[in-house]
Amino acid sequence: MCGRFTLRTPAHRLAAAFGVDALPNLAPRYNIAPTQEIVAIRMTPAGRRLVRLRWGLIPHWARDPAIGARLINARAETVAEKPSFRDAFRHRRCLIAADGFYEWQNCEAGPKQPYFIHLEKDPPFAFAGLWERWRGDGETVETASIITTEASAALRPIHGRMPVILPPAAHDAWLGETPAERSKTLLIPYAGADLRADPVARHVNNARHDDPDCLAPPAPE
């Protein structure tokens, strides 16, 4: 799964990377957690647009918006069939902006070890995402989910799954009117040699911590 990620890239660099207008006042985030605000790119009649969404997809038919806290991830293997995701997969795909994410490795003795996973030189990149618009209780909420797949060979020793990282060449196909079955072929593990996994301190375990110390290396034993 993907339960935490980062977006420290300044807005003007995100705009250049994704071909959109910049968002003002985009504070760096070091530990984005479920139900918090995330930044996504959607296709509109006027072209790509950078938007803010809540992480945790609420299906448009849901009676209780609390379901979103359980739908932060959609599995690539079943996203086209699951009732919670299939409509969004066909009609409401998005790119979720990130520049790193965390996974936790089981340890034989002691607590899990968190790793910060990112690309060499820390460029921004896109997770494959889905979005929905839910209306109820006198409000309209736009939410999103990150699609996950089996981990690449390099990450498998850390965790069995990883978010789908879409290379720039796949962005147009993912955002466009690509048929669902063809879109599903994009949902594969990222296997680029530029993927890095660095152990970090357990400071990141607390979702209330959102500061540069989340990326600090573990303290010496």
Q: Inform me whether the pLDDT recorded for 221 exceeds 70.
A: no
Whether 155 is covered by a domain: the verdict is: yes
CA gap 181, 207 in Å, rounded: 36
Whether 206 is covered by a domain: the verdict is: no
Q: What angle do CA 148, 152, 157 make, to 5 degrees?
A: 105
pLDDT in tens, 83-109: 999 999 999 999 999 999 999 999 887
Whether 218 is covered by a domain: the verdict is: no
User: What's residue 26's pLDDT?
Assistant: 86
Collapsed DSSP state (helix, strand, coil) of residue 200 = coil
Structure tokens at 143: 């939410």
pLDDT in tens, 162-220: 999 999 999 999 999 888 888 999 999 998 999 999 999 999 999 999 999 999 999 87
Q: What CA–CA distances, in Å, run from 83 to 14, 71, 116? A: 32, 12, 32
Q: pTM of the full predicted structure?
A: 0.96
CA gap 49, 41 in Å, rounded: 5
Whether 216 is covered by a domain: the verdict is: no
- Which residues have CB under 8 Å from 33's CB, separation 6+? 3, 4, 55, 207
Collapsed DSSP state (helix, strand, coil) of residue 12 = helix
User: What's residue 213's pLDDT?
Assistant: 98
Expressed as residue numbers, the domain containing 183 is: 5-101+122-195
CA gap 40, 217 in Å, rounded: 29
Whether 41 is covered by a domain: the verdict is: yes
How many structural domains does the chain have?
1
pLDDT bin (cut points 50, 70, 90) of residue 150 is very high
Whether 140 is covered by a domain: the verdict is: yes
Whether 70 is covered by a domain: the verdict is: yes
Whether 110 is covered by a domain: the verdict is: no
CA gap 109, 152 in Å, rounded: 25
Whole-number average pLDDT of the chain:
94
For residue 114, which phi and psi values (nearest 5 degrees)?
A: -75, 145
- CATH number for the domain spanning 132: value is 3.90.1680.10
Residue positions annotated with a catalytic role: 2, 103
